[in-house]
Amino acid sequence: MTATPAMRIGGWLLAPLAWLLMTLLSTTIAVAFYLLAIASPQTHQALAAQSASTVALWYFSFVFALAIWGYTLWLAVMFFKRRAGVPRHYIIWLLLTVLLAIKSFAFAPVSDELALRQLLFPLLAAALLVPYFKRSKRVKQTFVNAK
């Protein structure tokens, strides 16, 4: 009885991996900016002048960015280890990126054109990659490691 080894990451799986790694890079930069802001006395003075709800929202955004960074990092590691739970978590992660883009579209003080552009890529990625992760034989054959 010989077990068939899992397929290596390749083919169309390189596109979701690239999307994941680019998001990891951008969330790392966002968290770094938050940490630089927290370390700055000017930020503390500016936040002290704001209402309590604004300060709470700022810190909530920081905690949420940190959580997304951690989840993205964990998912990237699991992707490279070809864990069996990756397809499910990748779909959840894609939906979270769409929700974040919708939040930016609805609540951020940016122009509608910029917000729509930021919403377009996560929507397109989710529309293309969710069916791929659900139906692809390659995905089923690649992500098979239990631990």
For residues 94 and 129, the answer to whether their CB atoms sit within 8 Å is yes
pLDDT per position as a tens digit, 103-143 = 877 776 777 787 788 888 889 999 999 999 999 998 988 88
Tell me the HSE value of 4 on the side-chain side, using a 13 A CA sphere.
8
Average pLDDT, integer, range 94-108: 83
| Residue 119 CB coordination number (10 Å) | 19
Quote the CA–CA distance of 135 and 38 in Å, as a whole number. 44
- Alpha-carbon distance of 80 to 64, in angstroms, equals 24
User: Is the CB of residue 143 less than 8 Å from the CB of residue 87?
Assistant: yes
- Identify the pLDDT of residue 90: 96
Domain ranges of the chain: 12-142
> Is the Cβ–Cβ distance between 89 and 75 less than 8 Å?
yes
- The tens digit of pLDDT for each residue in 38-92 reads 898 898 888 888 888 888 888 888 999 999 999 999 999 999 999 999 999 999 9
d(CA 11, CA 71): 24
Structure tokens at 100: 């974040």
Q: Are the C-beta atoms of 71 and 93 separated by less than 8 Å? A: yes
